């Protein structure tokens, strides 16, 4: 394990940015989001970003290819350029876990090569939590917020950052900044982990009852009458899906230009009335059905097909950003305890 004083952290950013595009949680206009680091930017580690670092690997919009037509001839042009290596710095453990969920979707056959290229190019520096918020519910979904699963895991203790490489990509990154680092033992880090775990025990959403959300109970949960009441106030604004680190729905659209057609993809939301709309109509006609689909996918459908892995990492963004204060924890509390022996 290595460490560096936070007073020298800007030098670390500078060295990394010479070799890689560096993305970090940067504060602008009072909000913290992952953005490309440049000298003078304010990097903030003690606040959750509004949006997750999912954007680095699955951007909100992305050009797929172009079509150029000459008479009856159509030329298909791959618009991609080679993805340059980049570093995403300061990723919380819940967001680190979200990449595992996305990998299950985009790296399964047939592999999404757009996502794959970015995953191979990206180096993730995870950051262990020391002050989890009351909206944090990661433990309920099997995430240890003291152990970020990343290429490099890091911790901030007493004005110093501790770093430990986990993968070959992580070793390469630490070798680049080796001149700024000194050897360190894990004593202070272990003490901080223990303190964080004590804080976790006091958080209101850390022990949600998940036992009922299994494939065996799929039909029973699907037909619960409580869905009507839970969804009644939903505005279908899509905020929950856009801040969620694991939502992966997208739409593919064409845009006509003076030089042909651009095909691109953009994030979509199962909460929208036109989501997956077909010529025969919308398969989920009511907001209750769309609301139910979102949470059934997170809690039942996805884990049933992915070895029990939930499509939620408990980051709590939906709890803090929903304008009507609806979130996955309320759904779990309402449905999770029913009919349990």
Q: What is the pLDDT of residues 13-22, one digit of tens each?
A: 999 999 999 9
Number of alpha carbons in the 13 Å side-chain half-sphere of residue 254: 6
User: Per-residue pLDDT tens for 131-152?
Assistant: 899 999 999 999 999 999 999 9
Domain limits, the chain: 2-202, 215-335
d(CA 263, CA 58): 16
pLDDT in tens, 245-261: 999 999 999 998 888 89
d(CA 22, CA 10): 12
Q: How far is residue 200's CA from residue 146's CA, in Å, rounded to a whole number?
A: 10
Q: What is the spatial distance between Cα 191 and Cα 50, in angstroms, rounded to a whole number?
A: 29
pTM value is: 0.92
301 near 308, Cβ under 8 Å?
A: no
Do residues 74 and 263 make contact, with C-beta atoms less than 8 angstroms apart?
Answer: no
The secondary structure of residue 336, as a DSSP letter, is T
**pLDDT 10s per residue in the chain (341 long)?**
999 999 999 999 999 999 999 999 999 999 999 999 999 999 999 899 999 999 999 999 999 999 998 888 889 998 887 789 999 999 999 999 999 999 999 999 999 999 999 999 999 999 999 989 999 999 999 999 999 999 999 999 999 999 999 999 999 999 999 999 999 999 999 999 999 999 999 999 988 999 999 999 999 999 999 999 999 999 999 999 999 999 999 999 999 888 889 999 999 998 888 887 766 666 778 899 999 999 999 999 999 999 999 999 999 999 999 999 899 999 999 998 655 44
């Amino acid at each position: 394990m290595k460490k560096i004083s936070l007073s020298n952290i800007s030098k670390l950013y500078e060295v990394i940015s010479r070799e890689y595009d560096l993305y970090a949680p940067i504060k602008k206009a009072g909000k913290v989001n992952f953005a490309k680091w440049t000298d003078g930017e304010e990097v903030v580690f003690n606040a959750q970003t509004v949006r997750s670092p999912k954007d680095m690997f699955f951007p909100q919009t992305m050009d797929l290819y172009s079509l150029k037509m000459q008479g009856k001839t159509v030329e298909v042009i791959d618009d991609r350029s080679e993805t340059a290596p980049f570093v995403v710095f300061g990723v919380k453990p819940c967001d680190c876990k979200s990449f595992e969920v996305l990998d299950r979707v985009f790296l399964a056959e047939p592999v999404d090569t757009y996502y794959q290229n970015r995953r191979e190019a990206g180096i993730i520096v995870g950051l262990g939590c020391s002050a989890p918020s009351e909206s944090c519910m990661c433990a309920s979904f099997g995430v240890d917020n003291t152990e970020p699963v990343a290429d490099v895991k890091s911790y901030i203790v007493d004005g110093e950052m501790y770093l430990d490489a986990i993968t070959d990509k992580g070793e390469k990154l630490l070798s680049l900044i080796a001149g700024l680092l000194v050897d360190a033992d894990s004593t202070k880090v272990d003490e901080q982990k223990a303190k964080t775990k004590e804080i976790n025990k006091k958080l209101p959403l850390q022990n949600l009852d998940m036992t009922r959300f299994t494939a065996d109970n799929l039909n029973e949960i699907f037909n619960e009458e409580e869905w009507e009441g839970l969804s009644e106030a939903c505005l279908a604004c899509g905020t929950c899906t856009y801040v969620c680190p694991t939502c992966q729905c997208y739409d593919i659209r064409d845009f006509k230009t003076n030089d042909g057609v651009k095909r691109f993809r953009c994030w979509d939301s199962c909460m929208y009335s036109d989501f997956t709309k077909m010529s025969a109509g919308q398969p989920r006609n009511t907001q209750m059905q769309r609301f139910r689909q979102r949470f059934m996918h997170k809690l039942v459908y996805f884990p049933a097909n992915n070895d029990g892995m939930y499509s939620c990492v408990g980051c709590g963004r939906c709890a803090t950003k929903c304008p009507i204060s609806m979130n996955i924890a309320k759904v779990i509390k309402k449905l999770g305890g029913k009919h349990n022996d």
